[in-house]
Structure 1
Amino acid sequence: MTLDQLPIGKSGRIAAVGGQGALRHRLLDMGLTPRTMVTVVKVAPMGDPLELRLRGYLLTLRLEDARNITIEEEAQ
């Protein structure tokens, strides 16, 4: 599953960060690294971007970028 498919209020652990070159480097710099827990807080009215909670802060991420992040949904 990719991050853009995670429902609002659900959490997951990042398994892999895709993309190439500058895109991948930017995602990693924002704290989206493997084994990090991430929760979808809300989605903009038109569905893009997503607001995520990770590492104690909120991050807004475009759907296009979220599709490059593979996650494992946490059982609750």
Structure 2
Amino acid sequence: MSDDEHPVAEVSSPAVDPGVTAPEVTAPKTTAEQREARAEETLRRIFAGGDLGAEATALSNDFTDEYTGRLRAGLRRMFRRPGRQR
């Protein structure tokens, strides 16, 4: 089949009112002590017979989500459109 047989749907963005601003998304910030305590609790569960793969994946996902949120918030601040004050 060619590309002509499968048309691509047009994606339209919603109308944006320049006077309305979206709320600032802030990532939850944890301290080094909180992250260390979470890692130690994960190790305790693993040593007590917990599933190594599940525990490690959960800890990794928490870490990744937190830092992705921080990066996203930083990029939003950096690339904010001029004239849009929040």
Q: Fold match, TM over 0.5? A: no
Task: Report which of the two has the higher share of helix.
Answer: 2
Provide TM-score, normalisation by structure 2: 0.22
Task: Report which of the two has the higher share of strand.
Answer: 1
Provide TM-score, normalisation by structure 1: 0.24
The structure number with the bigger radius of gyration is 2
